[in-house]
Amino acid sequence: MTIEKMRIFSGTANLELGRRIAEYLSVPMANATVRRFADGEIFIQIDENVRGRDVFVVQPTSNPANDHLMELLIMVDALHRASAGRITAVIPYYGYARQDRKEAGRTPITAKLVADLLHASGVKRVLTLDLHAGQIQGFFNMPVDNLYATPVLLAAVRKWGIEDAVVISPDIGGVVRARSYAKRLHVDLAIIDKRRPAPNVAEVHHIIGEVENKHCIIVDDMVDTAGTMIKAAEALLAHGALSVSAVCSHGVLSGVAVQRIQSSVLARLLVTDTIQLSPEALSCPKIEVRSVAPLLGEAIRRICDEESVSSLFV
């Protein structure tokens, strides 16, 4: 790898992940000044030469999503105007991904709007992880590498040493993801039939599959308010499950999610560090965190060296 041509920048959304990626690559973090005016306007200045460099900007668009998205766009614009050679947006958690289609009349497709904004700002490539819907890649007019946290999370799940397990998909849309885990763990798959009468509200109607006398492992791409997950866990226990654990790539954990998890019937929740967790979440004994820095770092190295990243799509 030609270290001289690579620059790793990080916004303020997840500085720790940016540092871990830079550490994996054995390169120093590039310097940029990020500050805000009194009215909340974001100002960014690139503090080193990036002319002709292969630049990677690490910035999940997590809470506050609008601030972090604008920060990413402004940093990319600053890099573009500083004559960076190629700018790759490393977005471990792609916010607005849940708005990937029109679910009712006169509603936006905001996942597409964000893709357009990234393109307009000067992004030439996107590296992300576990998109809420894989077809979001089609919203971009540029290369998109959508990696999966499966290898990182599976390694942790295997250390649990759970026997008589069954993997649970929390809805029909997550079956492909859950089936991938079930196949690799050599266990059965079950599906929860749920309905969403409103955003962040879910009702469990049926459980498809055998969960009685089984240790259930719910697999999802994100956990937000945790209300849906806890309802699913309660329903599984009511159907005879011995225990319920959960595995999610993105720990959004909004509002009182951590308190809900701590007082819930969930045995444990496993997440990655795509989103910077709060001190409360980090200190919760039921929440385990695994880093995706080596996975993202390896993808960055291969992109910089113009090597294939296909082997990382597992």
pLDDT along the chain (314 residues), means of 10: 82 98 97 97 97 97 97 98 97 97 94 98 98 95 96 96 95 91 97 72 78 97 94 94 98 97 98 97 98 97 93 78
Question: Which whole-number Å values give the CA distances from 205 to 99, 194, 195, 208, 223, in the listed order?
Answer: 24, 5, 7, 10, 20
Pick the catalytic residue from 124, 194, 214, 231: 194
Q: Which residue shows structure tokens 């946290």?
A: 149
**Residue range 150-290, CATH number:** 3.40.50.2020
CA-nearest of 137, 92, 126 to 294 is 92
Question: Which whole-number Å values give the CA distances from 202 to 107, 152, 197, 232, 235, in the listed order?
Answer: 20, 28, 7, 9, 12
pLDDT of residue 310: 85
Burial track 221-251 (b if 16+ CB lie within 10 A, e otherwise): bbbbbbbbbbbbbbbbbebebbbbbbbbbbb
190 is in an annotated binding site: no
* Side-chain-side CA neighbours of residue 313 (13 Å): 10
pLDDT of residue 197: 61
Same fold for the pair 3-147+293-312 and 150-290: yes
pLDDT of residue 272: 98
305 is in an annotated binding site: no
What's the CATH fold of domain 3-147+293-312? Rossmann fold (3.40.50)
Question: Which whole-number Å values give the CA distances from 309 to 103, 148, 280, in the listed order?
Answer: 34, 12, 35
CA-nearest of 97, 18, 114 to 59 is 18
Give Cα 87 to chain centroid, integer Å.
20
pLDDT of residue 173: 85
132 is in an annotated binding site: yes
111 neighbors 99 (Cβ within 8 angstroms): yes
Rounded to 10 degrees, what is the CA torsion of 106, 112, 118, 123? -160
**Distance (Å, whole) CA 157 – CA 162:** 8
Q: Where are the domains of the chain?
A: 3-147+293-312, 150-290
Question: Which whole-number Å values give the CA distances from 67 to 122, 170, 242, 274, in the listed order?
Answer: 18, 30, 42, 17
Q: What is the DSSP letter of 273?
A: S
**Distance (Å, whole) CA 229 – CA 135:** 24
224 is in an annotated binding site: yes
228 is in an annotated binding site: yes
Token readout for 265 is 């019937």
39 is in an annotated binding site: yes
Q: Is 231 a catalytic residue?
A: no
pLDDT of residue 193: 85
40 is in an annotated binding site: yes
Determine how β-strand 188-198 pairs with β-strand 201-208. Answer: antiparallel
